[in-house]
Amino acid sequence: KNEVEQSPQNLTAQEGEFITINCSYSVGISALHWLQQHPGGGIVSLFMLSSGKKKHGRLIATINIQEKHSSLHITASHPRDSAVYICALRNYNTDKLIFGTGTRLQVFP
């Protein structure tokens, strides 16, 4: 079983829809990161979470440590949100980052 799993793998949406991307994990973590990889390949860190919820603009990230689950929400989605969203865990024991395989989001006008 992979230490980190994202769902769905692919997601299409109409502009304006509310988007949820999920990340489940099976190891103890000290933090969880959400990253965005643009179609051109560049990677940007969106959030780092160790508990609760964070919000930046239309993006909201939540984490439930007990359930080993995090979600990334996008409100009022826009075509420019089209990207691959990657969940990454910092393993509590090894301090290494473990990356998910990503969720490919396409938002159509």
Is the peptide bond between 109 and the residue preceding it cis, with omega within 30 degrees of 0? no
Shortest Å distance, C-beta 15 to other proteins? 27
Q: Which residue has the tokens 């099976």?
A: 26
Q: How far apart are CA 8 and CA 56, in angstroms?
A: 22
Structure tokens of 96? Answer: 């290494």
Shortest Å distance, C-beta 18 to other proteins? 25
- Nearer to other proteins (CB atom), residue 17 or residue 27: 27
- Nearer to other proteins (CB atom), residue 80 or residue 96: 96
C-beta of residue 101 within 8 angstroms of C-beta of residue 6:
yes
Residue 109 near other proteins by CB under 8 A: no
What residues does 90 pair with on adjacent strands? Answer: 31, 97
Map the footprint of other proteins across residues 68-97, applying CB under 8 A: 86, 88, 90, 95-97
Q: Which residues bind other proteins (CB under 8 A)?
A: 4, 30-31, 33, 40-45, 48, 86, 88, 90, 95-102
